[in-house]
Structures are given as structure tokens and as C-alpha cells.
Amino acid sequence: MASSAPKVPEKEHHESSDSIDRKAQLLAEQISKSKHLIVFTGAGISTSAGIPDFRGPDGVWTLKRQGRVRDLKAVNTLQAIPTPTHMALVELQNRGILKYLVSQNCDGLHRKSGMLPDRISELHGNSNREYCKDCGKEYIRDFRAVAAYEKTVHDHRTGRKCALCAGPLYDTIINFSESLPAQPVHRAHHHAEKADLCLVLGSSLTVTPANEIPEIVGQARNGKLVICNLQNTPIDHLSDLRIHSRTDELMIRVMEELNLPIPPFVLHRRLALKLESSGDERRRLTVSGVDIDGTPITFLKSIKLVYNRRIARSEPFVIDIRGNLDTGTALKLELEFMGHYGEPNLEVTYKYTGGKDAEILYLLEYHPYNREWHTAEQRSANGGEGIGDDMDKADDGIRLPNAPEF
């Protein structure tokens, strides 16, 4: 909240390029030697994506405290592109170097960039995630998973119902004076106690109890703490290496020192298609988004069976098919996405193999810089084919005409 920020913000310090080069080399050496690296991130890693921080000179809370209005419009978090820092962390994760990520950010960019759900604790929630208290089911949305109606700040009901038990769904945002989620906090503490190196990126480390995580490493006998933030922090005295720079300036250099690439952002989607018998000569095709851990994801606006006028516009996306289906029949589906990154419509083909029930998982990759889709297909065992775990059979998706411009 605004009262948590001083009216006169902490001064920002910018080190020289030579100094950042030297410290990036030292940090790369420490990362190379580390056996259990964890990273702790704050709002500062998203500022280059157009998302403001909170306590900087033009931070959200700073401006409110001063009664000022932002000069430039902030980027919608749903349309923000993960930064070089986000993507560098994904590369470190995928190579087994980064063991765990603890984040205070609610913008959802870490998960969108490719951080695996079991490798991250989002201590303050995720604006794209909601959950059911009754059965524990989580849902990832390609929209802000908050209530569309006016309510009190501590009323977390979103107005939607759980698809499994019909219980009310709640957003995951943690407001001031509210307790942090127990399981993510437990995992964060567990990895902090194992860590021999903790890298803090873009956090003022003023919000408790989240700031206790890097403090654990800084106080450990065999732990090293590195802090990269433009403003001073309350635990700078615990750091073994202190860098006053923007996170992208540091991480681009660090990855160069490690001789590792920073991958471009690619939007990954997983689409499940299930064909079930629903009676004599009747079948039901259900289409849904799913995360790598099985969590349902909402990223479609509509689906349409090509050459059929009927369009499914709400979840669950279901199309009923009457009549016999011959083995080898191709059912072509046109997918319409939320379009935050200008995703054009995509056509995928479900080939009926003659089984009673069959389920296919499509791995979709969208490249926002050239607006191209790539797809790969995995068929479940009851559909007669083996399931792979990669994009080896990737083909270019079909881009349909009249798609929105990006």
C-alpha cells in the first residue's frame, strides 16, 4: 500500500559499465561453483517490460504517496513480454543451474516465461491464477483472475465456480496484513536453507516476511548473498557482492560470462482434445487448455469445427458429433485465442483412429516476434500411439486469414 513507501523515495544508484562488467564476472564465477543456486525477484525485473515497480522514483506506491499521476501508461501485464532477466532465469533453470526461484511478483511473467510450477514460489500470488478452497484445484487464466464486481480488498472471491466441485474460486493475490500461502513459503524456506548462493534481483527487500528468504542465506555460514537493485536494501550488510544496476544490464553480462544464450520469449500452450462415445453413433469432442502439471489453463475464446457453423464460445468447449466416423476421418478445428500477443487463429486436425475413446495433447508454441505457431501432437495410449515429451514432430501451424494485427 502507499503508506509503506516513503514520500521521498530511496535514492537510486547506477554503477559504471566497467564496474558492472567486473561484478558480472565475479557473479558468473560464483554461479559456476554453486551447488544450490536460488534467486529472489522483485518488481524491478519487470520494469523493462513496461510494468512499474512500487517504491522507485516513479513507483506505484511512491506516486500515490506523493499524490502524483503517472506520466506514461503502464503496459498491461497480460501483454507484457518477459524481459531478458526472466528468460535468462529460464535458461538457468532448464540447464539445472537454478534450483529454485522465489518471487514477490504478481504479474505472472515468470510462469509465462517458462518457469516450471514446481520450481517457483510466488509468495504474493499471481494475478492470472485462482483456486478452489474446497478441493484445492488451481486454474491458470489468460485474463486477470479477479472479480469483475466491486468488493472489499480482503474478499478474494472471483465470482467463478470450480469445474470439479462447484465451490467458489478465489484469487491468489496477497494484500497487506494477509498471511503468505503456507506451502510456497515452506518450499522457499527449504531451498533457502539448502542454498549456497542466493541472487536477489530487483527487490528493495523491505516487505516482510518475504525478505526473510535471502536473509537466511546471507546469515548462513556457507551461504553467499548477491544483491542487484538500484536502491539500497536493509540487508546490504549481509551481501557478499552488491551491484547497483538494472537487472537486465547485469544478467545479459552474466549469461555472456557463462557462455549461455538468453532464449527469446516463446508462448507455450498445451491443448487437450478428448473424443468420447456418448451414445449410438454419437461422439463428444472436448477441447481444453492444460498446464504441464495438469492445472487447467484458460487461453481460448472460441473453437469451431471447420465446415460447421456451430461455434463453442465458453468452457468447457464441447462439440457433439452425430453419425459414424470412419477411421482416418480428419476433424479440423479452428482455435481463437485471447490475443494478448496478437495470436492469429490456428487450425489443428484431430485424426480419428477408430478407438472407442481417444485423447490427444497438442503442444503449441507461439513466437510473438514473427506471429507464427508451431505445433506437435501427442496421442494417449488408448488412441494407439506413444506419447513423446518434446517438439520433435513439430510442424508449422496454419495461420488463418483475417487474423488481428499485432
Q: Could you list the active site residues? A: 124
* DSSP code string of 269-314: EEEEEEEEEEETTEEEEEEEEE-TTS-EEE-EEEEEETT---EE-S
Q: Are strands 241-243 and 358-367 parallel, antiparallel or unpaired?
A: unpaired
Task: Give the burial string for 235-248 (b: 16+ CB within 10 Å, else e).
Answer: beebbbebbbbbbb
CA-CA distance, 177 to 332, in Å (whole number)?
51
> Is the separation of the CB atoms in 241 and 196 below 8 Å?
no
Nearest-CA neighbor of 302 among 266, 336, 274, 268?
336
d(CA 64, CA 70): 9
Residue 143 to residue 353: CA distance in whole angstroms: 35
Contact (CB, 8 A) for 358 and 383: yes
